[in-house]
Amino acid sequence: MMKLLVIIACIVVITVHWSDFNDKVNVTKMVDKSIEIIKEGSK
């Protein structure tokens, strides 16, 4: 039960602060880089 509460709390915090978080860590850039790395690795 405690784990569930912690997970819900994390989700709430992340969604509330998503725009700030997104500015600090450009998620889309990270995803693009990850995809590039995976593609390179699979060659």
Model confidence, pTM: 0.40
What letter would DSSP give residue 1? -
Residue 6, SS3? helix
Report in angstroms the alpha-carbon separations of 21 from 16, 17, 18, 41: 9, 6, 5, 29
The whole-angstrom separation of Cα 41 and Cα 1 is 41
The whole-angstrom separation of Cα 21 and Cα 10 is 13
pLDDT value for 22: 67
Q: Which of 15, 41, 35, 28 is nearest to 7 (CA)?
A: 15
pLDDT digits (tens, 9 = 90+) for 1-43: 889 998 899 888 878 777 776 666 777 787 888 888 888 887 6
